[in-house]
Amino acid sequence: MRIFISSAKARESIWAWLIWGLGFWLVLELGPFFIAGSVLKKTAGELTGPYLAFAVPWAIMAPLIWWLRKWEEQGASPKRLARGWGLSVTFFSIAVMVALFYSGVELGLMDRIDAEISFVVVVLLSAPILYFGMYHRALKFTSARAVSKRGGS
């Protein structure tokens, strides 16, 4: 059995994609958490919850990216793909916000009530901006790829 899964193999299986990407994501998180631990004088045990909370957004986004790429290979319409990318980025961003506010409360940097109110306001203001911003951007790129695949101009 192979220990390492290549990124090329990860494109074939959603589980390989998730494991390969999640491992990479967790390694990238280590640096900021070591810095946060030393600055805030927190132990590894106190940082475990926030560290794992920041793993959840990628666990949400990785399968969405995999499915969207599969839909594109199957010839889904650019509008459908753009809607998918818009929703995916919105869900990912909301999951990051949950992790951020949870970590702030867990590490004692925010009051719980203030964090809850701020979270609701941030989600209500940012969700439409994230969705429509990514929708228009993805529509431009998916339309261009669809045209290039057909050989048109």
SS (H, E, C) the chain: CCCCCCHHHHCCCHHHHHHHHHHHHHHHHHHHHHHHHHHHCCCHHHHHHHHHHCCHHHHHHHHHHHHHHHHHHCCCCHHHHHHHHHHHHHHHHHHHHHHHHHHHHHCCCCCHHHHHHHHHHHHHHHHHHHHHHHHHHHHHHHHHHHHHHHCCC
Task: Convert the pLDDT of each residue in 119-138 to its tens digit.
Answer: 999 999 999 999 999 999 99
Q: Given this model, what pLDDT does residue 146 score?
A: 77
Each residue's pLDDT tens digit, 15-49: 777 777 777 777 878 888 888 888 888 888 888 88
Domain segments of the chain as ranges: 7-150
pTM above 0.75, yes or no: yes
